[in-house]
Chains A and B, each alone.
Chain A
Amino acid sequence: MPRGFPARSSLFNLLPYGKIMWILDQLVYALDMRAGFVLASFGLASLAVAVAAEGAQAAPRVSEFTLKNGLHVLVIPDHRAPVVTQMVWYKIGAADEPPGSSGIAHFLEHLMFKGTDLIPNGEFSKTVARNGGEDNAFTNHDVTAYFQRVAKDRLPKVMEMEADRMANLRLSKEDVDTERKVILEERRTRVDNDPGSILQEQMMAALYTNHPYGIPIIGWDHEIRALDREDAFSFYRRFYAPNNAILVIAGDVEPEDVRKLAEDKFGKLPPKDGLNSRIRPEEPAHSTPVKVTLEDPRAGRTTVQRYYLAPSYASALPGEAEALDLLMRVAAAGSISKIYKKMVVEDQKAANAGGWYSDSGLDSGRLGFYAIAAKNVSAKDLEEAIDNVVEDLRQNGVTQEELDRARASYIAEFVYTSDSQSRMARHYGWRLATGMTVADVEAWPDRLKRVTVDDIRAAARKYLVDNNSVTGYLLPIPKKTSLDGQKRVNTTVKGRS
């Protein structure tokens, strides 16, 4: 009866019935990694925003300071309930892994819950729970974050615990061996059991041929199997340091108290050298569109997806990410989006259709469209229909009315975000960990307001480029065939017809 089961992160878990699938792709590629908590590499798109919408004065005052050892601290007071969210964001993620060690960032994230001199093995989360708190963590290509939610008087305790495991992790070989099995099970749940996830993994690998965003956050199966205690420690020793982290405290606190507490708990940890280069291999210019096809008896319904390389907020020229953000909201978010109206309502080629903008990467972002075939519609027809929607965006962009409506609603979302201290912590933490400043975050609604329909059409023309695209076909095949029990993934690199 109750599903209760931690959702498989796949596209297709969310697809069924959803009109709102704005964040679904990100869900696949940003995994939690610890306990069934899935966190998307949300960007502004899904987390909504910082700073008040017009006429709605909701912005809390955000304070920031930096300790002598380089720990960047952000305080977001919210005194409505006597509870606190603590997050520690490490500016390190799966895209920073040594070649051949895919999955180590995530593996280490699991192992961070094992123990230290202070915390006996396996007691981290139990200690938080005994203090009436909840904790978890997640890993992404660019960031790794740990968090707790506690009553405010327990903040010193959980802060001490985070500071402690920033420097004093203890791991036995047995811990690592057991956890590797857990992670392989996690990979089975998230990817191997789910054709939609398998295809998306392949599409990402095709979209990023040289940049490590093409490597799954959880790691390739064969490389996970080879990860060991030394891999974990060497990643930990190199990258876990106060000057590579951001501490975000949201809730019933005052900045001055947090400063004293942070100095007391984190202040004595030494900074590390050699952290500042996050230079990853760059993606070359792509010279051809790519198509990836997965035939699988478990595929459910014929589905077509299209990814385009695009800049993220961190990598875009001024104003471009904002234009892409609004473009995709009008074009593909929800059931009044252009793609939904065209493919689902008017032409009835798709049971569902939508898209997203993955905007939060340090080096690159992505645009995506998808459609689930209506009965008796082929993948080829579906792709053609997506092509038509894309071509219309390139030619005509969006109307002023569409822009105004989408923008008003988008900016207003800040008020909803600001209603939740944990969402605020996540929102600011993510942006700061990927290179934005508090001022950037807070000026964001104003930057959105400056976007024009011309900007949007220009962005569509610049980034909806065939050669920078990957198209994925997910094709159900009948169970009783020679292919029964197999899955065929077929990547072709050639021009689309």
Chain B
Amino acid sequence: MAWRVRFPRSLFWHGAGLVAAALIVSAAPAAEVIDVKIEQVTSPGGIEAWLVESHDNPLIAMRFAFRGGAAQDPHGKEGLAYFVSGMLDEGAGPLGSIAFQEREQALAMRMEFNASRDVMLGNLQTLAANQDEVFDLLRLALTEPRFDEDAVERVRAQILAGLKFDENDPAAVASRAWDRLAFHDHPYGRPIKGTKNSVAAISPDDLRDYTRRVFARDKLEIAVVGDIDAEQLGKLLDKVFGDLPAQSELAPVADASPPMGPSREVIEMDVPQSVAQFGHRGIARKDDDFMAAYMLNYIVGGGGFASRLMEEVREKRGLAYSVQSNLYPYQHGSVFVGNVATKNEAVGRSLQVIESELKRVAEQGPTAEELDAAKNYLTGAYALRFDSSANIANQLLWIQIEDLGIDYVTRRNELIEAVTLDDIKRVAKRLIEADRLITTIVGKPAPAKGREVRG
């Protein structure tokens, strides 16, 4: 089980799948083709899933998601979805927590749940030979979780211990403070893992209530890759998900007002290196400019050593080991956000360099060479996301979550190729406002002394 909640990165990190067709890696002189066929499966009971049959290895990878993640946590019960994600293998049906987990081990299966902002993610891997028993265990976890009091208290204690460590982790503190500053009372402003008080307030009934409201067939997306055919899968889908309620009962989540600064919060912590998070509103996944913005982010701070921020902050000045930016298109509000860690004396300098680079790219846009390099990487590296069953399932799931259509994979690289220099320059102006960043700094940043001498 993956116990740390991870944010879904934008679709492009999770990539995308392949539709009954071929993927062209356009960067290649000799175009590469991935021969993966997506089949849309509907079970006898009407549950839909995308399937890629692959009999090379005797395993099955399944990813699924219920829409309604941590954003469904009630006020005062922040951390509920995260808590649920930690409880689903702590006993279900006739099996107490230890019996359940011994069964998991005996079946050599992997089952984990992650609560993100907008979705509850499930991940299952099994040897094909054990599929019936494994899927039955998943059914139990989803439909009959026990939430026994001792198990609830155990997991609660672990969450609280985790929060205690997070309190002293500058990156965690910076991130939490940033969310609050950016989103205030909106569910996105509240911590996914909750707070000491909110976690203390969560009862077994709350956990039950969450699963009852969220685990329903109408908000379910499923992707399966591996050693199984459509007919077998259909039966298993009915078995696992068939007993869930047809309709979810999600609380409505309003769209967040787009977070913009300028604002800055410094949180003192006695560490030698300050961690800063910076950013502002991003761009919605459905926006026509999303792809250009995504490419822009690659050029600015998403592209590792190919990015401008890495070049300016690390490679030229040695100010940080890591600096990056990301574009996260959440369902009710998107953000463009980055982070950097620099010794206390120089964190002000790092932020200056970052701001001035953001300003420059907003005003002048990327160069033609940068755009070409971004296209080469993004189209060429797309195939790398299809190198294992689990990865392919992940791509297919995120295409469904972001509602991009089963043909998305064939279109995806074309969408990238279609972005022009004018497009990306226009979007740079639209997206980035360097003088309106929301910034949180955790550490003991030295007071600004004007420009530091480089060196």
Q: B161's contact among A80, A151, A372, A422, by CB below 8 Å, is which?
A: A372
Taking CB atoms, residues of chain A closer than 8 Å to B59 are 56, 58, 415-416, 419
- Shortest CB-to-CB span from B104 to chain A, Å, is 8
Closest B residue, CB atoms, query A373: B161
Taking CB atoms, residues of chain A closer than 8 Å to B7 are 1-4
Cβ of B339 < 8 Å from any Cβ of A? yes
The answer to whether B270 touches A298, judged by C-beta atoms less than 8 angstroms apart, is yes
The answer to whether B270 touches A485, judged by C-beta atoms less than 8 angstroms apart, is yes
Closest A residue, CB atoms, query B168: A298
- Shortest CB-to-CB span from A92 to chain B, Å, is 23
The answer to whether B106 touches A188, judged by C-beta atoms less than 8 angstroms apart, is no
- Size of the B side of the interface (Cβ < 8 Å), in residues, is 107
Taking CB atoms, residues of chain B closer than 8 Å to A229 are none
- Complex CA–CA separation, A416 to B126 (angstroms): 9
Taking CB atoms, residues of chain B closer than 8 Å to A130 are 306, 373, 376-377
The answer to whether A408 touches B322, judged by C-beta atoms less than 8 angstroms apart, is no
Cβ of A57 < 8 Å from any Cβ of B? yes
Taking CB atoms, residues of chain A closer than 8 Å to B320 are 182, 185
The answer to whether A185 touches B343, judged by C-beta atoms less than 8 angstroms apart, is yes
Stretch at the interface among A63-71, A121-129, A308-316, A457-465: A121-129
- Complex CA–CA separation, A303 to B62 (angstroms): 36
Taking CB atoms, residues of chain B closer than 8 Å to A341 are 98
Taking CB atoms, residues of chain B closer than 8 Å to A193 are 170, 271-273, 275, 341
Produce 1/0 per residue, A295-320, CB < 8 A to B: 00111110000000000000000000
Q: B388's contact among A298, A372, A420, by CB below 8 Å, is which?
A: A420
Produce 1/0 per residue, A57-85, CB < 8 A to B: 11000000000000000000000111100
- Shortest CB-to-CB span from A281 to chain B, Å, is 31
Cβ of A6 < 8 Å from any Cβ of B? yes
Closest B residue, CB atoms, query A175: B315
Stretch at the interface among A16-24, A161-169, A384-392: A16-24
The answer to whether B386 touches A181, judged by C-beta atoms less than 8 angstroms apart, is no
Taking CB atoms, residues of chain A closer than 8 Å to B373 are 126, 129-130
The answer to whether A2 touches B175, judged by C-beta atoms less than 8 angstroms apart, is yes
- Shortest CB-to-CB span from A214 to chain B, Å, is 23
The answer to whether B387 touches A301, judged by C-beta atoms less than 8 angstroms apart, is no
- Complex CA–CA separation, A153 to B30 (angstroms): 7
The answer to whether B387 touches A81, judged by C-beta atoms less than 8 angstroms apart, is yes
- Shortest CB-to-CB span from A47 to chain B, Å, is 14
- Shortest CB-to-CB span from A470 to chain B, Å, is 22
- Complex CA–CA separation, A152 to B33 (angstroms): 11
- Shortest CB-to-CB span from B223 to chain A, Å, is 15
The answer to whether A1 touches B335, judged by C-beta atoms less than 8 angstroms apart, is yes
Cβ of A412 < 8 Å from any Cβ of B? yes
The answer to whether B341 touches A188, judged by C-beta atoms less than 8 angstroms apart, is yes
Known A-B contacts A15-B165, A301-B164, A351-B160; the reply to A122 vs B315 at CB < 8 A is yes
Produce 1/0 per residue, B54-66, CB < 8 A to A: 1011110100000
- Shortest CB-to-CB span from A189 to chain B, Å, is 5
Cβ of B162 < 8 Å from any Cβ of A? yes
- Shortest CB-to-CB span from B216 to chain A, Å, is 26
- Complex CA–CA separation, A173 to B416 (angstroms): 40
Known A-B contacts A16-B162, A18-B4, A80-B387; the reply to A1 vs B322 at CB < 8 A is no
Taking CB atoms, residues of chain B closer than 8 Å to A18 are 3-4, 158
- Shortest CB-to-CB span from A486 to chain B, Å, is 9
Q: B32's contact among A12, A153, A405, by CB below 8 Å, is which?
A: A153
Cβ of B131 < 8 Å from any Cβ of A? no
Q: B157's contact among A3, A351, A408, A416, by CB below 8 Å, is which?
A: A351
- Complex CA–CA separation, A12 to B277 (angstroms): 21
Cβ of B20 < 8 Å from any Cβ of A? no
Known A-B contacts A1-B188, A16-B4, A298-B271; the reply to A352 vs B383 at CB < 8 A is no
Taking CB atoms, residues of chain A closer than 8 Å to B388 are 419-421
20 contacts between A and B (CB under 8 A): A2-B326, A2-B328, A4-B326, A5-B275, A5-B339, A16-B3, A17-B3, A35-B322, A36-B324, A56-B129, A125-B305, A132-B382, A134-B384, A178-B318, A179-B318, A185-B273, A251-B387, A300-B165, A336-B101, A422-B387
